């Protein structure tokens, strides 16, 4: 055999194949049966009999609890999916002749995949973490660590991080700062609580002021009185001064250092009694002389 003949054979082979399939130009809603194209059965139906030269394909409805969604040449429909309660599944859509049933997971669980064959328990966020996305049918809870200024004190699958209480907005002051686990502590503001205290304090101060004024007026009146009475010294001073003179042993020195060498006795009995700077004592001396 020559290579040319081989090529001829291959070519005729391909050609004949193409010719045969092009003869049977079945579309997507048909299937090839023998030398002809038979109609497929539509959604909700199944095939009973292939078409013949005289008859179309025989189709019939799916049996109860079965479905068929497309165009088929199958003689059986597919049974609906069973959502097993023992596996934690619930039937979300029951299914019909054209659609499969849809299973879901019981509350507190979510489907492990798109088919929802098994359920997984929904996660809760630990204290210090808040929920940013609650669990859905097909996804778990999404938690995030509470940022500064926010807190979460509970294990929860729904609670987000909450901002710390603004003590100032409540007219309070912060007693203790918050953490990612706990809120700030507020307490009554000091300036506010001192307002009722301020009133008696101010009243007391006013009373003191009045007393001071009275005292000052009274003292001024007394001074004027003594000035009118002249140079007569108060008798009480005599009582003090006399024993001093009579018992020099008891009276050693005056308070001032410069007069340490001059006992009072000497000053009083001596030449001039004017040694003292104190006006009171000079008056005493004057009386002694008289």
Binding site for ligand NAG (CB under 6 A): 128-129, 145, 179-180
As a whole number of angstroms, the distance between CA 177 and CA 151 comes to 11
* CB proximity list for 209: less than 8 A, separation 6 or greater: none
DSSP 53-122: SS-PPEEEEPPTTEE--S-B--SSPEEPPP--GGGTEEEEE---SSS--EEEE-TTEEESSTT--SEEEP
CB of 180: closest distance to ligand NAG in angstroms?
A: 4
Select 60 or 154, whichever has its Cβ closest to ligand NAG: 154
Report the residue number, 180 or 276, with the smaller CB distance to ligand NAG: 180
- Which of 42, 102, 107 shows the shortest CA–CA distance to 68? 42
Residue 259 DSSP class = G
Q: With respect to ligand NAG, which residue has the nearer C-beta, 137 or 153?
A: 153
Smallest distance, ligand NAG to C-beta of residue 128, A: 3
- Measured from the CB atom, the residue of 157 and 251 that comes closer to ligand NAG is 157
Ranked by CB distance to ligand NAG, the top (closest) residue is 128
Could you tell me how many helices (H) and strands (E) the chain has, helices first?
6, 16
Q: How far is the CB of 129 from ligand NAG (least distance, A)?
A: 5
Least Cβ distance, residue 154 to ligand NAG (angstroms): 13
Shortest spacing between CB 145 and ligand NAG, in angstroms: 4
CA 143-145-150 angle, to 5 degrees, is 115
Residue closer to ligand NAG (CB basis): 65 or 128:
128
State the minimum distance, in angstroms, from the CB of residue 164 to ligand NAG. Answer: 13
CB of 152 to ligand NAG, least distance (A): 9
Cβ–Cβ < 8 Å for 45, 60: yes
Cβ distance to ligand NAG smaller for residue 166 or 177: 177
* CB-based contact 59:47 (threshold 8 Å): yes
C-alpha distance from residue 198 to each of 42, 53, 83, 104, 211 (Å): 92, 112, 75, 68, 20
Residue closer to ligand NAG (CB basis): 127 or 248: 127
């Amino acid at each position: 055999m020559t290579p040319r003949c081989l090529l001829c054979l291959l070519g005729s082979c391909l050609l004949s194949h193409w010719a045969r399939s092009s003869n049977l130009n079945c579309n997507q809603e048909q299937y090839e049966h023998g030398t002809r194209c038979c109609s497929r059965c539509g959604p909700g139906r199944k095939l009973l009999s292939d078409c013949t030269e005289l008859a179309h394909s025989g189709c019939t409805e799916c049996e109860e609890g079965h479905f068929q969604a497309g165009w088929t040449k199958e003689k059986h429909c597919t049974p609906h999916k069973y959502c097993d309660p023992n596996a934690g599944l619930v039937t979300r859509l029951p299914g019909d002749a054209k659609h499969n049933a849809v299973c879901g997971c019981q509350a507190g669980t979510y489907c492990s995949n798109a088919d929802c064959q098994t359920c997984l328990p929904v996660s809760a966020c630990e204290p210090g973490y808040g929920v940013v996305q609650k669990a859905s049918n097909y996804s778990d809870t999404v938690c995030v660590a509470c940022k500064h200024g926010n807190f979460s004190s509970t294990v929860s699958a729904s609670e987000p991080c909450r901002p710390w209480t603004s003590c100032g907005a409540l007219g309070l002051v912060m007693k203790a700062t918050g953490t990612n686990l706990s809120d700030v502590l507020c307490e009554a503001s000091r300036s506010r609580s001192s307002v009722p205290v301020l009133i008696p304090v101010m009243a007391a101060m006013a009373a003191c002021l009045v007393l001071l004024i009275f005292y000052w007026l009274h003292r001024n009146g007394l001074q004027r009185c003594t000035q009118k009475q002249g140079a007569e010294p108060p008798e009480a001073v005599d009582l003090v001064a006399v024993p001093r003179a009579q018992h020099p042993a008891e009276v050693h020195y005056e308070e001032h250092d410069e007069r340490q060498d001059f006992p009072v006795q000497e000053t009083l009995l001596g030449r001039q009694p004017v040694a003292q700077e104190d006006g009171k004592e000079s008056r005493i001396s004057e009386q002694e002389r008289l």
